Amino acid sequence: MATLLDLAAQGDVATVEDESRLSSIKLMTPQQLYELWERQPWSAHALDLTRDREDWASFDDDERADMIWGLSSFFVGEERVTTQFSGLVMSYEDQSEEAYLTTQQVDEARHTQLFARLYDEVMDVGGGIDAQLERVRADLNDSFVKLFDEHLVEAGRRLIEDPSSVEAKVDFVTTYHMVIEGTLALTGQNFITDFFEKTGKMPGFVEGFKKVSQDEHRHVAYGTWYLQKAVCERPELARRVQDKLAELLPVAAGVLVPAGKDPFGEWDLLGYPSEQINRFAFTALSRRLKVIGVGLPAVAA
């Protein structure tokens, strides 16, 4: 069974053809991403969750346990990234980047609102967002807490202390956009959405979750653009990106494992085997690094 860390230790899966194609990709600028944001509006409070409540009651205990793990991770994760984003907004280099970055912080708050509605109206976990978050934190594993409450918070703190620091900005974007969003969030969204679509259940949430994924793809596009630009201007920063990934990938590998399942053995989430989930996450990261122009870090499996 290959974990995310095993795959990273083995090396990149991109072919020569992949490398040629990926290196020629023209990335969207912050101005273009801002304009795209204006064309993709949606409201977390306009979704109809009426049928979702009925569907939730129809899942068996194992399905609900897996869903609670995945959805709780997203709920707390969205709150964490919302509150830790201010430093990156402060680090803007021109007005277009400032305009785009403010939209991303709004997006993350909107995602938190969606999960608050889901837990209140569908899963009967109410009491307001603060009380909900306190409750669902019990569903998380230690790796999640380490990544979001320690690594992300520390990266945000250093950027707030010195928004002009390119090194701090590279660390934050690598942590946030490459690992948390580009590797973990997009992987979870892919498999959770696929499960609900195959069952034909939770249509209101699926509609909203697809909008979350749409937003996250814009976010990851920004992170890819920024790191490509930073590495192009200062090639020595490629090593900094690699060092940060080498530090975070062992933690990220643990975040993917549902609570109560063996991180060193084979496991599944909603019927999807760990091998498939880990390979999806690894492929997403490695291809993005190709676009940036950074090789995979040397990590120990």
Q: What is the pLDDT of residues 272-293, one digit of tens each?
A: 999 999 999 999 999 999 999 9
pTM: 0.91
Q: What are phi and psi of 164, to 5 degrees?
A: -85, -5
Query: Is the distance from CB of 123 to CB of 65 less than 8 angstroms?
Result: no
Specify the fold of 4-292.
Answer: Ribonucleotide Reductase, subunit A (1.10.620)
Interatomic CA distance for residues 246 and 166, integer angstroms: 19
Is the pLDDT at 19 greater than 50, yes or no? no
pLDDT for 259: 83
Is the pLDDT at 298 greater than 90, yes or no? no
Mean pLDDT within 114-126: 97
Burial bucket for residue 30 (CB in 10 Å: 0-12, 13-18, 19+): buried
Instruction: Spell out the domain ranges in the chain.
Output: 4-292
Give residue 25's region: left, alpha or beta (phi > 0; psi -120 to 50): beta
Nearest-5° angle of CA 171, CA 259, CA 189?
Answer: 60
pLDDT for 5: 54
